[in-house]
C-alpha cells in the first residue's frame, strides 16, 4: 500500500494524509487484532492451568525470530529505500541507521523508567506472573496486577505504532509483524490476568484488565498517526520504519529471548527462534 498521488488526492475528499481510508482502516484493524492477543493470554491466565515452560519458550522464541528477521531483512532496507528517495543514497543510509538506533533508544528509555519489579518485560515477571504474590494480601495482588497492566500499556504504545505503520505501507510485512507481536502479547496477558484473578476471585476481572492492557497498542498507533499526520512523506515513513525496526530488535533481545531462556527450555527457545526466522523468510519469498 502506498500513499495516493496528488492527482488522486484532488479527486478524493476522504483520503487521510494521502492514504485511502481502506488502507488506514486495515492497518488499524491489524493493530487492534495484535493488541487483543493479550485477551488470549488473559483467558489462559484465568483458566485452571497456566501455559507450560515449553509452550512459552517455543512461542517467545518464534516471535523473536520473526521480529529479528523481518526487521533486518525487510523493514530496515525499506526504510533506507524511502530515505534514499528523499535524501539521496548516502544520506538516506545514514539517516536510516540513525533512526534505527533512535527507535532502540526510545524503547530502552521507556523500559528504564518502568520499575523492574512490575515490568512485564523483565524475564522473571513475564514467566512467573504471580510468583510469590499468591501468598500475599489481596490488595497487594490487585496493585501488582493493575501496575503490570499500566506498565504493559507504556510498552505497547510503540509496538502498536510499529504494527500500524507496517500495515499502512506493506501488507506482506504487516502480517508476520502482527503474528509476532500477537504471540508475544499472549504471556503478557497472562502476567496481568493471574494476579488480578487471585486478588478479586473474578475470572472476568482478570480477563478484562488483560484486554485493556492490549488496547494500548491501537491507542499508540492512533496517537502516533495523528502526531505524524501533517508530516507524512517518504522521509517520515523512512524514519518511522527504521525506528520500528529498532523497537522490534530491542524487544526481541531484551524481552523475548531472555524470557524464553528463563523457562529453562533453552533448546526449545532456539528451535522456536529458527522456526520463526524460517517462516518469515518463506513468507517473504512467496511475495517476490
In whole angstroms, what is the distance from residue 105 CA to residue 241 CA? 15
Does 125 appear as a known binding residue?
Answer: no
Looking at the DSSP bridge assignments, the partners of residue 16 are: 19
Does 266 appear as a known binding residue?
Answer: no
Tell me which residue of 121, 140, 256, 60 sits closest to 130, measured CA to CA.
Answer: 140
Residue 261, φ and ψ in degrees, nearest 5: -65, -35
- CB–CB of 173/244 below 8 Å? no
Residue 162, φ and ψ in degrees, nearest 5: -60, -45
Place of cell 504471556: 187
- Write down the H helix ranges in 170-288: 171-200, 203-214, 216-228, 234-251, 257-262, 266-285
Does 156 appear as a known binding residue?
Answer: yes
Q: What is the H or E stretch that residue 78 is in? A: helix 76-87
Does 217 appear as a known binding residue?
Answer: yes
- CB–CB of 185/203 below 8 Å? no
In whole angstroms, what is the distance from residue 184 CA to residue 179 CA? 9
Q: Give CA separation, 142 vs 113, 128, 239, 264, in Å.
A: 21, 16, 40, 28
Does 74 appear as a known binding residue?
Answer: no
Annotated binding site: 156, 159, 184-185, 188, 217
Annotated binding site for Fe(2+): 156, 159, 185, 188, 217
Annotated binding site for Zn(2+): 159, 184, 188
Amino acid at each position: 500500500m502506498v500513499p495516493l498521488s496528488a492527482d488522486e488526492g484532488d479527486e478524493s475528499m476522504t483520503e487521510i494524509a494521502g492514504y485511502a481510508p481502506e488502507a488506514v482502516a486495515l492497518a488499524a484493524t491489524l493493530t487492534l487484532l495484535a493488541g487483543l492477543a493479550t485477551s488470549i493470554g488473559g483467558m489462559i491466565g484465568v483458566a485452571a492451568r497456566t501455559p507450560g515452560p515449553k509452550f512459552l519458550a517455543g512461542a517467545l522464541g518464534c516471535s523473536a525470530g520473526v521480529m529479528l528477521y523481518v526487521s533486518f531483512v525487510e523493514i530496515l532496507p525499506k526504510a533506507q529505500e524511502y530515505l534514499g528517495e528523499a535524501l539521496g543514497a548516502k544520506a538516506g543510509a545514514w539517516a536510516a541507521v540513525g533512526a534505527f538506533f533512535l527507535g532502540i533508544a526510545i524503547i530502552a528509555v521507556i523500559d528504564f523508567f518502568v520499575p523492574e519489579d512490575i515490568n512485564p518485560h523483565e524475564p522473571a515477571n513475564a514467566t512467573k506472573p504471580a510468583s510469590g504474590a499468591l501468598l500475599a494480601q489481596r490488595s497487594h495482588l490487585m496493585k501488582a496486577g493493575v501496575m503490570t497492566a499500566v506498565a504493559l500499556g507504556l510498552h505497547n504504545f510503540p509496538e502498536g505504532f510499529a504494527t500500524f505503520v507496517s500495515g499502512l505501507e506493506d501488507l506482506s510485512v504487516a502480517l508476520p509483524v502482527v503474528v509476532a507481536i500477537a504471540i508475544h502479547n499472549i504471556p503478557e496477558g497472562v502476567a496481568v490476568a493471574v494476579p488480578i484473578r487471585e486478588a478479586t476471585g473474578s475470572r472476568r476481572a482478570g480477563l478484562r484488565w488483560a484486554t485493556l492492557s492490549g488496547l494500548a497498542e491501537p491507542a499508540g498507533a492512533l496517537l502516533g498517526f495523528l502526531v505524524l499526520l501533517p508530516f507524512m512523506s517518504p522521509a517520515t515513513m523512512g524514519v518511522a520504519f527504521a525506528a520500528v525496526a529498532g523497537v522490534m530488535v530491542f524487544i526481541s533481545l531484551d524481552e523475548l529471548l531472555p524470557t524464553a531462556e528463563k523457562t529453562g527450555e533453552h533448546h526449545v527457545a532456539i528451535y522456536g527462534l529458527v522456526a520463526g526466522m524460517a517462516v518469515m523468510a518463506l513468507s517473504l519469498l512467496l511475495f517476490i
